[in-house]
Amino acid sequence: MDREALKRAAAARAIEEIADGMVVGLGSGSTAEIAVELLAARRLQVVCVPTSERTAQLARNLGLALATLDEHPQLDLVIDGADQVERGTLNLVKGLGGALLREKIVASAARRMIVMVDDSKLVDRLGGGTPLPVEIVAYGWRSTLGRLERSGLQPTLRGGIERPFVTDGGNRIADCSIAAIEDPAGLESELSGLVGVIETGLFIGLASRVIVAGARGVEVIER
């Protein structure tokens, strides 16, 4: 199976968790968008809280009912993808799609977080070949990158100096190269304390269930 088919298989299993009457967080990224399309096809009576403007537009075009987190401060569940999933802990790296702040806010407001991935996203340790996205304020971004570098990371401003990537909240993303992360919670705490850092792509203890699609079928891993 190709990666697109694996994403679709994981998304199809994830939306089985959704029932009439639920308030559902909708993640961002390619797998989440497949899930949104499949959810709309089921024609359930649900209210959806999107994590990005792109997801919101897709859901609106497909006829899904949308609301804000202020209107529904607690969600039944959120369905989202991930860039890395650590075996054993189900800790995540997210943010390569650029919506990590809103994704984490929505995930933190949900009773359950269902993560959909293909098996290439499973790793023994976070980091390594996948950069860690860190959302930073636009003002003084060079200084913030310096602080990240002094913390042992190798940050790069996403999009470059001439055309930097801008998040839905008007912020910037620093993509940070890092070796295997031995202590994700410790790193999360350290980076969150740096001036200029808004949020990191480390999602610690948020995933309730990870749905993994591979050549042998779909596996569900519980935290």
Confidence of residue 170 (pLDDT cuts 50, 70, 90): very high
pLDDT in tens, 49-99: 999 999 999 999 999 999 999 999 999 999 999 999 999 999 999 999 999
For residue 210 the two structure tokens come to: 């990870």
Q: Average pLDDT for residues 111-130, to the nearest whole number?
A: 96
103 is catalytic: yes
pLDDT above 80 (res 21) = yes
Measured from the Cβ of residue 192, the count of other Cβ atoms closer than 10 Å reads 13
Three-state SS for 6?
helix
Pairwise CA distance, residues 1 & 154, whole Å? 35
CB 93 within 8 A of CB 7: no
Catalytic residue among 33, 103, 135, 199: 103
Q: What is the pLDDT of residue 1?
A: 64
Please report where in the chains the tokens 């949900």 appear, as a residue: 110
Q: Average pLDDT for residues 14-28, to the nearest whole number?
A: 97
pTM of the model: 0.95
Which domains are delineated in the chain?
3-121+204-215 (3.40.50.1360), 132-198 (3.30.70.260)
Arithmetic mean of pLDDT over the chain: 97
Q: Average pLDDT for residues 5-31, to the nearest whole number?
A: 97
What's the count of helices (H) and strands (E) in the chain, helices before strands?
Answer: 6, 15
For residue 208 the two structure tokens come to: 């309730």
Q: What is the pLDDT of residue 223?
A: 84
